[in-house]
Amino acid sequence: TKAQAWSALFSEPMSDLVKRYTASVSFDQRLWRADIEGSLAHAEMLAAQSILSDSDHQEIVRGLQQIHSEIETGRFDWKLDLEDVHLNIEARLTQLVGDAGKRLHTGRSRNDQVATDVRLWLRGEIDLIAVLMQDLQRALVEVASRNVEVILPGFTHLQVAQPVSFAHHLLAYVEMFARDAERMADVRRRVNVLPLGSAALAGTTYPLDRERVARTLGMVDEDGAARVCQNSLDAVSDRDFAIEFSAAASLVMVHISRLSEELVLWMSQNFAFIRIADRFTTGSSIMPQKKNPDVPELARGKTGRVVGHLMSLITLMKGQPLAYNKDNQEDKEPLFDTVDTLKDTLRIFAEMIGGQVDAATGEKSGGITVNPQPMEDAARKGYATATDLADYLVKKGLPFRDAHETVAHAVKAAQSHGCDLSELPLSVLQGFHPQIEKDVYDVLSLRGSLDARNTLGGTAPAQVRMQLARHQARLASK
Ligand code: ARG
């Protein structure tokens, strides 16, 4: 057999270096299932359109099925000489079924083939990611449901600001991941469109039924109508769907990274708000007392890697004239690594946060352990209810700005006494404003502060329970 698919025109062979430089089979072999699926759909349509004989079609199906099992069982001999996954499979097919194999590429180019393969592969991965994103949200909701009454110091500028329910804090992340999941679903709609039939760049002279192929491959809208790329030049050349996916993945990772930063902080001895199971930590080779939060730290680190891939992909596109250019071969490694990193991270986070049920014993292990006392103590330390005192005075008729100033004086006094606002005697508080009465202590408590924020989206336990119920219903229905 010839060393290259286009060999006759070439007067000299490729050097080994050029071969290695231009080949993609070492990484794009991962697209083999999509490649075979796309070829089967294409061949089926060619036969239905009488472009291919039924017997050739049957041979192609037989050959591709054998290749499928060869690859699946690790018996397929991938050849660098054959450059990429597409040429490797096609060459083997021809080896197996002869001329029928050579007819498969009728009305097709590797340009529309690879665009189709990547889309098919990515669609499957997005579906797996969607499930993992649900699992992570469920884990957060589950921990939240057990911690509605636990009070955490809410921070702004990492300074104690106002007390919040720990569940409310976790549900903030659920909101982020819910938006991320929506974004992924939206990306999927644009991924799931068929390039095949565009051929190299201009379309093809054969009477292809592109919509039939699209339906075979499940590239259809909600009503079952085929979704086919409408411009052949665009179909083979743009990778915006991969960039979009990578942007959505970056946002997921950024949200995980923010959560990671908090987990690391909360685990520090100076906070001691939570613990995570030992299996997500590692020890130190020198300091015997250490349990380091390696998993959240690595997730934070890997976020850089995923965001980097977004930069790679978007930069890859920017200088390309229409239509296909070999630059696009460089889309695969960043895309693959983004998917791998995201899936692993989602999986490990769902387990680290929510724990895991042992299939055999039904027992749950892992999951974060919440320490309510240090959280409350920390909230009490930073005058977290100062705003509540100001609001109290406003309700007595003071303009907010005056109330703000009055409370600043009270905080200063409490600081010099080394105590919390709620520990100042009534007589002292009344020194700041005569309208302060005994009921002030209700608003100065952490619990009172929480209860008072009983508006939609607020941290009052009643509101948090409402949100919990909404998320539980949303996540159960899928
Ligand atoms: N391996 C190539 C890629 O990943 C397949 C398409 C190659 N097409 C071509 N005309 N060289 O993009």
User: Does a structural domain hold residue 219?
Assistant: no
> How close is the Cα of 216 to the center of ligand 1, in Å?
24
Q: Give the binding-site residues of ligand 1, using a 6 Å CB cut-off.
A: 24, 28, 84, 110-111, 114, 324, 326, 328-329
Residue 106 burial (CB count, 10 A): 16
Q: 378 with 153: CB under 8 angstroms?
A: yes
> Which of 198, 329, 333 has most ligand 1 atoms within 8 Å of its beta carbon, as the pocket-test mutant?
329
User: Does a structural domain hold residue 211?
Assistant: no
Residue 94's domain is classified under what CATH number? 1.10.275.10
Residue 231's domain is classified under what CATH number? 1.20.200.10
Structural domain span for residue 100: 7-106
Residue 440's domain is classified under what CATH number? 1.10.40.30
To the query of whether residue 157 is one of the catalytic residues in this protein, the response is yes
Q: Supply 361's token pair.
A: 């014993």
Whether 271 and 349 map to the same domain: the answer is: yes
Whether 80 and 122 map to the same domain: the answer is: no
Q: Which atom of ligand 1 is nearest to the CA of 84?
A: 1
> How close is the Cα of 212 to the center of ligand 1, in Å?
24
> How close is the Cα of 248 to the center of ligand 1, in Å?
26
- pLDDT of res. 1: 44
User: Does a structural domain hold residue 285?
Assistant: yes
ipTM of the complex: 0.97
- pLDDT of res. 5: 53
Nearest protein Cα to ligand 1, atom 4? 329
Whether 307 and 394 map to the same domain: the answer is: no
Whether 337 and 437 map to the same domain: the answer is: no
Q: Which uninterrupted H or E stretch holds 120?
A: helix 110-145
> Which of 29, 81, 105, 111 has most ligand 1 atoms within 8 Å of its beta carbon, as the pocket-test mutant?
111
Q: 183 with 251: CB under 8 angstroms?
A: yes
Best CA proximity match to 175, nearest among 470, 477, 394, 476: 470
> Which of 89, 110, 324, 327 has most ligand 1 atoms within 8 Å of its beta carbon, as the pocket-test mutant?
110
Instruction: Give me the number of domains the chain comprises.
Output: 3
Whether 179 and 289 map to the same domain: the answer is: yes
* 207-31-97 Cα angle (round to 5): 60
User: Does a structural domain hold residue 270?
Assistant: yes
> How close is the Cα of 114 to the center of ligand 1, in Å?
7
Q: Please identify which of the residues 7, 26, 55, 284 carries the catalytic annotation.
A: 284
- Round to whole Å and give the CA distance between 395 and 209: 72
Whether 116 and 228 map to the same domain: the answer is: yes
Which amino acid type is present at position 457? Answer: G
Half-sphere exposure of 17 (CA within 13 A, CB side): 0
Which amino acid type is present at position 229? Answer: C
- Round to whole Å and give the CA distance between 290 and 393: 48
> How close is the Cα of 119 to the center of ligand 1, in Å?
14
At which of 365, 386, 401 does a domain end? 365
Whether 176 and 101 map to the same domain: the answer is: no
Q: pLDDT tens track of the chain, all 478 residues?
A: 445 556 688 888 889 999 999 999 999 999 999 999 999 999 999 999 999 999 999 999 999 999 999 999 999 999 999 999 999 999 999 999 999 999 999 999 999 999 999 999 999 999 999 999 999 999 999 999 999 999 999 999 999 999 999 999 999 999 999 999 999 999 999 999 999 999 999 999 999 999 999 999 999 999 999 999 999 999 999 999 999 999 999 999 999 999 999 999 999 999 999 999 989 988 888 888 888 999 999 999 999 999 999 999 999 999 999 999 999 999 999 999 999 999 999 999 999 999 988 888 888 888 999 999 999 999 988 899 999 999 999 999 999 999 999 999 999 999 999 999 999 999 999 999 999 999 999 999 999 999 999 999 999 999 999 999 999 999 996 5
At which of 336, 365, 394 does a domain end? 365
> How close is the Cα of 309 to the center of ligand 1, in Å?
20
Burial bucket for residue 122 (CB in 10 Å: 0-12, 13-18, 19+): buried
The H helix count followed by the E strand count for the chain is: 20, 6
Which amino acid type is present at position 307? Answer: V
Q: Which uninterrupted H or E stretch holds 14?
A: none
Whether 287 and 307 map to the same domain: the answer is: yes
User: Does a structural domain hold residue 12?
Assistant: yes
User: Does a structural domain hold residue 437?
Assistant: yes
Q: 241 with 187: CB under 8 angstroms?
A: yes
User: Does a structural domain hold residue 215?
Assistant: no
- Round to whole Å and give the CA distance between 329 and 352: 36
Residue 196 is given by DSSP the state: T
- pLDDT of res. 11: 86
- Round to whole Å and give the CA distance between 98 and 107: 18
Whether 350 and 242 map to the same domain: the answer is: yes
- pLDDT of res. 477: 65
Cis geometry, peptide bond prior to residue 379 (ω within 30 degrees of 0) = no
User: Does a structural domain hold residue 149?
Assistant: no
Q: Which uninterrupted H or E stretch holds 160?
A: strand 159-165
Whether 177 and 296 map to the same domain: the answer is: yes
- pLDDT of res. 6: 64
Q: Supply 346's token pair.
A: 């989602």
At which of 365, 391, 416 does a domain end? 365
Burial bucket for residue 303 (CB in 10 Å: 0-12, 13-18, 19+): buried
Whether 331 and 408 map to the same domain: the answer is: no
- Round to whole Å and give the CA distance between 342 and 315: 21
> Which of 326, 330, 333, 336 has most ligand 1 atoms within 8 Å of its beta carbon, as the pocket-test mutant?
326
Best CA proximity match to 143, nearest among 118, 180, 168, 178: 168
Sign of CA dihedral 214, 219, 220, 224: positive
Q: Please identify which of the residues 50, 157, 416, 427 carries the catalytic annotation.
A: 157
Whether 90 and 128 map to the same domain: the answer is: no
- Round to whole Å and give the CA distance between 403 and 407: 6
> How close is the Cα of 326 to the center of ligand 1, in Å?
6
Q: Spell out the residues 6+ positions from residue 344 whose beta carbon is closer than 8 angstroms to its own.
A: none
